[in-house]
A and B are shown apart, each in its own frame.
Chain A
C-alpha cells in the first residue's frame, strides 16, 4: 500500500510517494490559491501517472494521505478568516487589546498602526459570570440573560469564541455558555478547550485564531475527504500540525489552531528526521527562501518547542515548533541608509519582481544579484538551465545602488552584501540560540531552501560551527517531514502548586489527565490510543518569578514507573542554568501547568543507504569565481546529478544542482554521504 505526503505551500504543492517505508518518487505542482484541495488532487494525479495508474486505482491503493497546508496560516496572515464574536466575563471587554503579552520593541517609533485584532469591539458580548483563581464559581451563568444577548445580536458573525477569566482552572462556565451559544450558531470555540493556558490574553488570542480559521479549515477538510472518497479512497487522511506532528481531520476541525504554523514546523520535522538518521544530536536548521529564513533548533534529537509562537500580531499558545523567521533571503535588498552605511534586508524583492537578475523589472540589488556578480551562482544553470539570469542586470544594480555610492568596485560591493547577509543571519541565529540557552558552536547546521547552499558555509563559519549538511531532498522537505511525524496531542491541567505540596500526587494527576484524554481522542478519530507513548511535562518557575520554563520528560510507555517530580525538578534546575546562567536548588519551585503529550508512533520512512564509492569526480566545467577580494581564480564546478556517494571535493568549488547551488569556500571539504546528501566540514575559517 502507498502513503502519500503532500505539502501545499503558497506557491508549490509538493508530494512524496512511499510504498511501505520506501520512497518511490516525488513531484511538485503549482498551488492554486483558491482551491487547496484541488492542488492536492493535481499532485495525486501526477503521482498516479508516475505509477502508471488512473487516479481512482491509485487512490484505492493508498492507505494514508498526509496533508500539510498553509491554509490556516495564510488565512491569518492575509486576514481572510471568519467573522467571530467574543463572549467575555462582564467587565473585561478589552482584554483583547489591553492584555497583549507581545511588547512593543520599536519604542522610538510612534508612527505605527495598532496591533490587529480579529474581533472588533462591537462584536464582543458581556456574560455575567465569574470564576475565581482557585476554580470556585462566584457567579454562575445566567442562561436567560445570555439567550437574551444572543437573540438581540444581529448575528453578523459566524463563529462564537468564549473566553472567561480563570477558565484554565475551571472551564465549567465556558462549557455552559458554549452549549447555549450552540443553539444560535454552529461554530463555537471555548478557550479552555483550545488551550488550557493561564494568562487570559494568551488563551484568548489562541482561541480567536482557532475560531477565525475554523470555517475555512472545515470546508477544506470536508472537500478534500469528499473528493478523495469520490475517487474510491478508503484510507485515512491526516494533517500536519504546528508541533511537527500529525493530527486527525476531526481534531483539526475541533481545534484548528493546531494547523497554524504547520508549514515551517514540517520543514523542521524533516531536519529532525535527518538529525536522527545521521546521529546529529544538536542541529540548527535554516530554511532560506527568497524573502526570509526560518530557523529552528533540534536539541538531543527533539525539536525545540514553544507555547508562545507569534504569528503576525497574534500568539498561538499551542505547543508549536519554535521557528524564528528573519528577514534575510535571496531576495533581500541591499541598500545604503541615510548615514551611508550599507544594509541588507529586511525588505525583499520577493518572487516578483524578484532580484534584478531575473529581468522582471526589479531594479534593486539583492543577495542573489550579489551571488551572481561573484559568479558563485551560475547564470546559466538556474532551475537546471530553464531560466537564464542576467549578469548584466545584476552588475548594473550592484554598481549603481551600492558600489558607486560607497566608492568601491562592484566585486567589493557584492562581497560586502554577501558578508552582511551572512553576518545578519548568524547574529540572529545566535540570538535565537542564546534565548534558548544554547551555544551554537555545538550544533550541526542543516540548510534547506533555494538560497541556503550559497551562504550556509559563511553562516556556519561565523557561528563557529564546523559541520554543515545540505540534504538533496530539501526541496520537498516539508512534505517529507510530514511522513516522519507521529500522531501527537497535548492535554494540560493547571495546578499552581509548589513542588512540596504535590510530592506524591503528580503521577496521579498525569494518569487522570490521560484517562480523561482517552475518550476525547477516540472521539477525535485517534486509533490505537492504548499503544501510545506519554511525555510528561510542566511549566515551572522558581517561586515568585514571572515566567515559566517548560520542561518535558522523554516519551515513555504509560506503564513505566518513575518519579516524575524528581525528574522534572532536576531538569528544571539544569534548564534554568542553561537559560539564565544560574540555578539554585534551595529555592522553592512552583509547578503551574502540568502537560501530557500523547504520542501515537508511526512507522518512519527508510531512506536507502547507498554504497559509498571512492572514484574521483571530474568537474563539469571551470569558472572564474570571486573567492575573496582581488581573488577570482577559475574554480571547478560540479553537476549535482553526477555527485555519487563517497565523492569528495575541496573548496573553493561550486556544486550546481537543479534547485540550488552550493558554494564550497576555501577551507571547506564536501563529501556526498551514504544518503546522497552533502556533508561539509569547515576546517579553517
Chain B
C-alpha cells in the first residue's frame, strides 16, 4: 500500500486545516502594519504555499490578483536563480515583468524556501504592492511612458537575504530607485519576518505527523480537489463559448482594446480551456502578462463555482490558458503593463463570466462595475516629512470611486463592494483620514442613483465623488497635484447583466476649473490647480433576471431609499410609484403586462 492509500483520515483533515491556517497567518501578519497603503488597506497581497515539486498547496483568501498564477512566477524565479542555488533562509525578490510574467511594477514577488532536516519541503510565496517602486510618478498608474523602464525599477530575481543574512548591497541598489526607501525597507523586512515565523508553523505540521504522511495528505487533497472540480466541469455542457470585452483605450491611441475569449469545455476530460489568442495585439500600459491572466481567469471562474472549492493545484490542473505572444495578454519586451490587473485584467474576468453565463447562468454572477480609482499624488509644500526632512509627499488610493459587484441569481449585488480585481477585499479610505493626508476636501461621496444594472436581482450601485483641491495657492507649483486615472476604466463600457438583467452605467469624470467643465478621461494623467473640483461618477454591477420579475416591494424600497428613481422603477421594472411614494398596485400590474406584451411584439 502506498503512503497515500494508508493515509489516516484524521491526518488528512488536520494537515488540510493547518496548512490553510498557516497561510492565513502569513497574510494576517503582513497586511496590518505595512507602510504600503494598498497592502494595509485592501489586503493587496497574496500568499501561496507551494510544495517542493512546485505545486500550489494553499491559496489564501486575500487579493485575487496575486494568487492563482503565482506558479508561473515561482517557476520563473527558480529557473532564473537555479534550483541548485536555493538554500535555507534565502529570500528572493523580483518584479521583472518579462521574467515573473506579472506586470504593474509596484507588485513585488517574494519567495522563500522551507527546509526540514536539510531537505527542501515547501516554498512560501508572497506578492505585495509596495509603498513605492520608482517610475515617473508614485503609484504606477500613469499612462504613456516610453517603455517599461519608465514605469519603475525593474528587479530580476535576486537574493535579498542569503542564508539568513540581508544583502545590504543589493538592497541599497533597489532602495536607491524607489521613493520612501525607509518604508520600502521596513515592509520588506516585515515580509521576511512574517515568512520566518510562519515557517515554524509549517515545520510543526511535518513534525507532528511525519513527512511521509504530510506529503501523502497533500497528494490526496490535490487529487480530491481535482476530482471535485472535474466533477463540476462534467456537469457542464460540452462546447465552445465566446466572449469579448474591451478597455476604453490604452492611454495612447484612442480606440478600444479588445480581449477575446474562446472558452472550450471538455466534460469528458474535466477540463476548461481559455483561449485568448484572438485578443488584440499588444498596446501600451494596459497589457497583461501571463501570470496575471491566470489570476484573472481563476478568480472569475471561482465565482461561478461553489465557494468551498479548495484553491490548490487540483483546481489549476483543470484549467488551460492559451495566449498569443505579442498580444495584449502576453506582451513582449519592452511593453508597458502598469494598469494590467484593473483594466484588461478585469476584462478577462468579464469574458470568463460572460462565457460561464452561457454554461451555468444560475450560478454565474453578472459582471462588476469597472474599476475606477483615480490616484491622487503629489508634494505638500506646506508640510515637511519628518522621516526625510524634505517636502512631504502624499499618495492616496481612496477607493471611493469604486462601484459594486453584480447580482447573481437569488442575490442582489452588494452596494459599494468594489471592483472585480479586488473582489470586495478593499476597505475604502476614511474621508477624515484622506483629508488629513492630502490637500483635498471632499464635497460629496454617496451612491450614484440608478447606476446599477437592473434585473430580478439588481447589481450594486456606483458612486458619486466630488472633491475640491484646497492646496494653499501661495506655495502651489504646477506639478504638485497630479491625478492619475490609469486605474480607471469604463467610460465606454459598463457592466453587463445576464438572464434578462441589464448592465450598469458607464464611468464619467470631469474637472471644474473656474466654473468651466473640463473632460477628464480614463487612462489619463493631469495636474489639478488650487480651487479645482474633480468629479467622478462610477458604474455599478450588472443585474440578473428580468427586471419586470423583481419583487414589487424591493423596487418600492429601492425607490424610497433613492437608490433608484421613480422613472427607473416605472420604465425598467414596471413598478408605478405615486407622488406620495406608495406603490400603485393596479397600475403596476397593468404596466408590467403591457411591457411584456410590447416585448413579445418586438
Contact = CB atoms under 8 A, between A and B. Distances in A.
Given A339-B228, A544-B183, A581-B194, A434 B28 contact: yes
A166 B412 contact: no
Interface in A53-105: 91-95, 97-105
Nearest to A108: B302
Given A110-B411, A408-B9, A416-B10, A200 B29 contact: no
B601 interface: no
B78 interface: no
Interface in B386-438: 386-387, 400, 405-406, 408, 410-412, 414-417, 423-428, 430-433, 435-436
Chain A interface mostly helix, strand, loop or mixed? loop
A604 B99 CA distance: 66
Nearest to A130: B441
B446 interface: yes
A556 to B, nearest CB: 29
A347 B311 CA distance: 22
B408 A341 contact: no
A434 B37 CA distance: 22
Contacts of B61: 105-108
Given A342-B10, A342-B13, A434-B25, A198 B307 contact: no
A151 interface: no
Interface stretch (B149-157, B256-264, B492-500, B558-566): B558-566
Given A544-B387, A581-B29, A416 B426 contact: no
B445 A132 contact: no
Interface stretch (A508-516, A582-590, A614-622, A668-676): A582-590
Interface stretch (B185-193, B268-276, B371-379, B584-592): B185-193
B252 interface: no
A582 B410 contact: no
Interface string A161-205: 000011010000000000000000000000000000011110000
Interface string A560-592: 000000000000000010011110100110000
Interface stretch (B14-22, B325-333, B471-479, B516-524): B14-22
Contact of B310 (A121, A339, A544, A576): A339
A107 B425 contact: yes
A530 interface: no
Contacts of A580: 29, 32-33, 190, 193
B183 to A, nearest CB: 6
Contacts of A427: 17-18, 21
Interface stretch (A34-42, A418-426, A466-474): A418-426
A296 B303 CA distance: 35
Contacts of A544: 35, 180, 183, 385, 387
Contacts of A588: 386-387
A337 B410 CA distance: 24
B563 A112 contact: no
A110 B365 contact: yes
Interface string B34-47: 11010011110000
B79 to A, nearest CB: 30
B12 A341 contact: yes
A492 to B, nearest CB: 15
B183 A109 contact: no
B9 A416 contact: yes
A152 interface: no
Interface residues of B, number: 90
Nearest to B192: A581
A64 B34 CA distance: 48
**Listed residue (A339, A408, A412, A434) with the most chain B CB atoms within 10 angstroms of its CB:** A339
Contacts of B18: 423, 427
Interface string B561-581: 111000000000000000000
Interface residues of A, number: 76
A498 interface: yes
A463 to B, nearest CB: 11
A544 B186 CA distance: 12
B14 A419 contact: yes
Contact of A94 (B193, B227, B447, B560): B447
B542 to A, nearest CB: 12
A579 B33 contact: yes
A122 B307 contact: no
A144 interface: no
A547 B430 CA distance: 12
B14 A133 contact: no
A630 interface: no
B431 A95 contact: yes
A108 to B, nearest CB: 5
Contact of B37 (A110, A114, A341, A546): A546
Given A94-B446, A114-B412, A199 B9 contact: no
B386 A110 contact: no
A91 B444 contact: yes
Nearest to A101: B427
Given A106-B61, A114-B414, A121-B561, A582 B186 contact: yes
Contact of B182 (A111, A122, A500, A587): A587
A108 B299 contact: yes
A120 interface: yes
A542 B40 CA distance: 14
**Listed residue (A91, A103, A168, A406) with the most chain B CB atoms within 10 angstroms of its CB:** A103
Contacts of B410: 111
B172 interface: no
Given A337-B308, A580-B29, A420 B10 contact: yes
B11 to A, nearest CB: 9
A609 interface: no
Nearest to B62: A107
B557 to A, nearest CB: 8
Contacts of B17: 420, 423-424, 427
A343 B432 contact: no
B290 interface: no
A98 B404 CA distance: 10
Contacts of B186: 542, 582, 584, 587
B443 A94 contact: no
Contacts of A108: 61, 64, 299, 302-303, 307, 309, 311, 423
A97 B415 contact: yes
Given A103-B426, A339-B228, A581-B189, A420 B411 contact: no
Contacts of A103: 42-43, 424-427
Interface in B203-239: 221, 224-225, 227-228
A95 B432 CA distance: 11
Nearest to A102: B427
B529 interface: no
Contacts of A576: 33
Contacts of B411: 110-113
Interface in A430-471: 430-431, 434-435
A352 interface: no
A505 interface: no
A98 B424 CA distance: 12
B40 A545 contact: yes
- Top 7 nearest A-B pairs by Cβ distance? A581-B193, A109-B307, A121-B561, A107-B423, A416-B10, A588-B386, A91-B444
Given A98-B447, A100-B427, A547-B40, 4 more contacts: A91-B446, A92-B446, A132-B441, A546-B40
29 contacts: A97-B416, A98-B428, A98-B447, A99-B430, A103-B427, A104-B425, A108-B299, A114-B417, A122-B560, A133-B436, A165-B432, A168-B432, A198-B432, A199-B433, A200-B431, A201-B430, A338-B308, A342-B10, A423-B14, A427-B18, A427-B21, A431-B28, A434-B29, A435-B32, A543-B385, A544-B183, A546-B40, A580-B29, A582-B193
Interface of B: 9-10, 12-14, 16-18, 21, 24-25, 28-29, 32-35, 37, 40-43, 61-64, 180, 182-183, 186, 189-190, 193-194, 197, 201, 221, 224-225, 227-228, 299, 302-303, 306-311, 365, 385-387, 400, 405-406, 408, 410-412, 414-417, 423-428, 430-433, 435-436, 441-447, 463, 466, 560-563
